[in-house]
Structure 1
Amino acid sequence: MKIGFIGAGSMGSLLVGAFVRAGAMRPDDIVISSRTSSKLYSLANQYPGLQVATTNKDAAADADYLFLCVKPLDFRSVLDEITSVLTPDQIVISITSPVRISSLEELIPCKVAKIIPSVVNAVGSGASLVMWGSRLTDEDRSALWHLFAAISQPISISEEEVRVASDISSCGPAFLACLLEQFIDAAVISAGMQRETATELASEMMLGTARLMLEQSCSPSELQAKVSVPGGITAAALDVLRKSTRGAFLQVLYTTHEKFAEDLDRVDSSLFPRERT
């Protein structure tokens, strides 16, 4: 089997490492290309046997799976470079939200899937957001699902849901880390706790919270009720927190959706420039 990756940035490198560590891919099967040669050779050193391609076309040719891990506005130039070597039997996996499946199916002859990873897939956790193209067979879908199940919990969504799903799954770690950082800062400032201790406590707390919600089917409201009692310290603090953050995540989502709409227009214009003039 040949598995091609185009793009060795943060997510391309993360996926390669996650799949190899999980045993879902062998380095000998992976061929990767990138504009940044230092990233390629760093991966080759980390995973002996991984092959470095000198061009995107070399990475794409004869690949059973081809992962496109490039920026949205770079898709057109990459597709122009590789389309001549693509065939209907190949499966192209885009990890980029604003590039529509229908656009890829119009521009290339391959089978297409859009699967959005999360940074936490690096440790075999979190979700991957799965959207199927029209040319995939049931066998193709099953194989891709099994592949991503090695590093994540695949969750099937409609393409119309990709923005809000990505907000939770892919952007969420950064949002929660922002809140956690403020929590840690408050512990350091208010009580003089060592930052390393506060960070360890907060990290273990977040891991345990996620496990409790998943393994015991505990909803956020149920978890709050488990921890707080009327008139207690936690209840009083929760009241302050709710008042301070009310509406914050609505504003966050309004912002991401507005930016996403702009990105969709820009990507469509870059993919089909003549039709948009």
Structure 2
Amino acid sequence: MNKKIAFIGAGSMAEAIISGIVKSGILTKEQILVTNKSNRERLENIKSKYDVQCILDKEEVIREADIVILATKPYDLKDSVESIKEFLQPEQLVFSVIAGISTDYITALIGNNNPVVRAMPNTSATIGYSATAISAGKYASDEHLIQAEELFATIGTTAIVDEDDMHTVTGISGSGPAYIYYLVEAMEKAALEAGFDKETAMELITQTVRGAGQMLKESGESAAVLRKKITSPAGTTEAGIETLNKYDFEKTIMECVKSASNRSVELGKNE
């Protein structure tokens, strides 16, 4: 990819994407520029870990970039755009990975017709396993979407969706890894209470989660079918599933996704 990418924001999501891009080799370290509001220590940390170009001078960062990635917290977006918009050129492509914030709002903040593409990766980008949804703003063309897919494919899989669906995407794949980690925490506690040592418990649980994910990906069968195949009548798995049903596990997960999606909507209302 013969482009220079500028990250505005150097938090956990920016770092996850940077890590994935560096590991993929699609860009050289010289093609990746990073800046933030004023946290020099954080930039030095990113520089030491990934050897990318970390610069506090916003004008220098924007001037060199073909693609600008907005990766701030939602409440920092307005100030961040104010600090760079005078340096943006109309041909520069803008990607946003900020939860809940619409492309129309970003376009209004920028104040010109820069193409804006919204993306929702997750932190599994760090190891190249993100599930990233992508949607186009009103000035973004098919070519801009192709560029977004090319970049975000380096950190996992991509899917183009309508922007109206991005709130649900946030609740499912954006926040989804945290739900899985929470499940693992609970399984680990159960294993430790049963007398397992932590290392053995985590080896078994991690491989179980990994194997289940691969089965979903490779078997061609639905989660319901795969679950039923290992749930023998009056067996151990059935006993476990009955307990999950007793505590309304399915409804809890569905409400969990809705809560995250609704929070994404609330963040958008603060535009």
Identity fraction in percent: 26
Quote how far apart the aligned CAs of 1:168 are. 1.4
Quote how far apart the aligned CAs of 1:202 are. 0.5
Q: Measure the CA separation in 2 of the matches of 1:216 and 1:33.
A: 43
Read off the aligned partner of 1:242 and give its amino acid letter: N
In structure 1, what is the equivalent of residue 16 of structure 2? 14
SS in 2 for 1:196: helix
Relative to structure 1, is the Cα distance of residues 126 and 15 closer, same or farther in structure 2, using a 3 angstrom cutoff? closer
SS in 1 for 2:189: helix
Equivalent in 175, 178, 184 of residue 180 of structure 1? 184
Equivalent in 106, 120, 125 of residue 124 of structure 2? 120
Matched, 1:71 2:73: yes
Unaligned regions of 5+ residues in structure 2, if any?
none
In structure 2, what is the equivalent of residue 274 of structure 1? none
Contact 1:56 1:78 in 2 (8 A): no
**Matches for 1:1-277 after TM superposition, within 5 Å:** 1-34=3-36, 35-48=38-51, 50-108=52-110, 109=112, 110-189=114-193, 191-244=194-247, 245-266=249-270, 268=271
Q: Measure the CA separation in 2 of the matches of 1:236 and 1:63.
A: 57
Unaligned regions of 5+ residues in structure 1, if any?
269-277
Quote how far apart the aligned CAs of 1:246 are. 4.2
Quote how far apart the aligned CAs of 1:26 are. 1.0
SS in 1 for 2:146: helix
| Bigger shift: residues 255-264 or 219-228 | 255-264
In structure 2, what is the equivalent of residue 273 of structure 1? none
Q: Measure the CA separation in 2 of the matches of 1:251 and 1:162.
A: 17
Q: How many residues align?
A: 265
Q: Measure the CA separation in 2 of the matches of 1:126 and 1:227.
A: 28
Q: Measure the CA separation in 2 of the matches of 1:105 and 1:69.
A: 15
Quote how far apart the aligned CAs of 1:240 are. 1.3
TM-score between the two structures when normalised by the length of structure 1 = 0.90
Quote how far apart the aligned CAs of 1:90 are. 0.5
Quote how far apart the aligned CAs of 1:45 are. 2.0
CA RMSD of aligned residues (A): 1.6
Contact 1:92 1:111 in 2 (8 A): yes
| Bigger shift: residues 157-166 or 12-21 | 157-166
Relative to structure 1, is the Cα distance of residues 257 and 60 closer, same or farther in structure 2, using a 3 angstrom cutoff? same
Quote how far apart the aligned CAs of 1:6 are. 1.0
Q: Which 4+ stretches in 1 moved above 6 angstroms? A: none
SS in 1 for 2:85: helix
Q: Measure the CA separation in 1 of the matches of 2:23 and 2:261.
A: 34
